[in-house]
Amino acid sequence: MRDRDALVAHARNTIARGSKSFAAASLLFDRVTRERVWLLYAWCRAADDLADAQDMGGELGDQAHAADRLAIIRSHTALALAGEPTGDPSFDGLGVVARECGLTAQMCDDVVAGFALDAADWQPRSEADMLQYCYHVAGAVGVMMARVMGVPDDDSMAADTLDRACDLGIAFQLANIVRDVWEDDAAGRCYLPVEWMVEADITPGQHMKPMYRPELVAMVHDACVMARAYEASARIGAARLPMRSRWAILSATGIYGSIARKVEKAGIHGWDHRAFTSRFEKLRHVFGAGAACLRAPPASCEDDAMARPLTRRDFEARAREVASNAGQH
């Protein structure tokens, strides 16, 4: 087993290469939390790259043998959680942060379930399916990140904060979906619901044809409206975090949320090039988040959940139902 310092150094290099936005925001955490965030990110990045046969989220590789790669992710994750060496520092780092923060096998399983959907060449049929996918690949990670930041799950307020951490992951993944529509299509994937395509009179798989660009823009708008609702919910949860964690999360929220807003604003030109945030824009969001930390936190209203079609409890219930049905066959 590699020593912790070496695993942290590997994780720091991973986040620096894999996500400049998250790397910038992570510097705002206190040292211990920052290292734990890096370790968790490194596992997510390694598992995602292994699932998609890619390097640091780059171009998708050969998708043959996806089931074999998924089996490796599951076996390495199980070994790491058991405290056994895996031969991969990203998975070994998961074992360290899991022991330090109480991350569970179920939390990890919920994330890996998202990779399994991709391995099965899956596409969401409904809006609920799309959001369920967002939960697995990002919302469940948000819950784990909140635990890394010290949020427990031992009372109603803490549980609600975890719900809102999940909401932030959902918002991030919806931003990913609208930004990457073109790239996903080139790889034979689509994360916009089939039902949306049918309602727009688009044959599934043909949504990137120029003649359908106005309809695609309308679908992206709908996804961005949902992303904003989840983001607004997440900001309420972020206000309950310690100062430095709150600053980091609000910075990441601003940086990543701006990507979806850029795609939406660009309309039919949203995929002429890949949307990103410049270094100046990142700094602006960091300073803006710092100012937001000094203001009174947003108040939660009784019906704020109504803006979110589904919440963490719904996603977890659906995931357990799917797992139970699979076990009966």
Alpha carbon distance 26, 34 (integer Å): 6
Supply the pLDDT for residue 16: 93
Exposure class string for 32-65: b at 16+ Cβ within 10 A, else e: ebbbbbbbbbbbbbbbbbbbbeeeeeeebeebee
Half-sphere exposure of 206 (CA within 13 A, CB side): 9
Scan for tokens 């784990």, then name that residue.
Answer: 144
Alpha carbon distance 276, 213 (integer Å): 21
- What sign for the dihedral angle of Cα 18, 20, 26, 31? positive
Supply the pLDDT for residue 302: 43
Task: Write down all domains in the chain, each with its CATH number in brackets.
Answer: 1-112 (no CATH), 123-329 (1.10.600.10)
Question: Running along the chain, 329 residues long, what does each successive block of 10 average in pLDDT?
Answer: 88 92 88 96 95 72 81 97 95 97 96 92 94 97 95 83 95 93 87 94 88 92 93 90 90 86 82 77 86 71 61 92 70
Supply the pLDDT for residue 303: 43
Alpha carbon distance 223, 231 (integer Å): 12
Alpha carbon distance 90, 39 (integer Å): 7
Neighbours of 321 (CB within 10 A): 10
Alpha carbon distance 181, 160 (integer Å): 32
Supply the pLDDT for residue 139: 97
Alpha carbon distance 29, 17 (integer Å): 19
This prediction has a pTM of 0.91
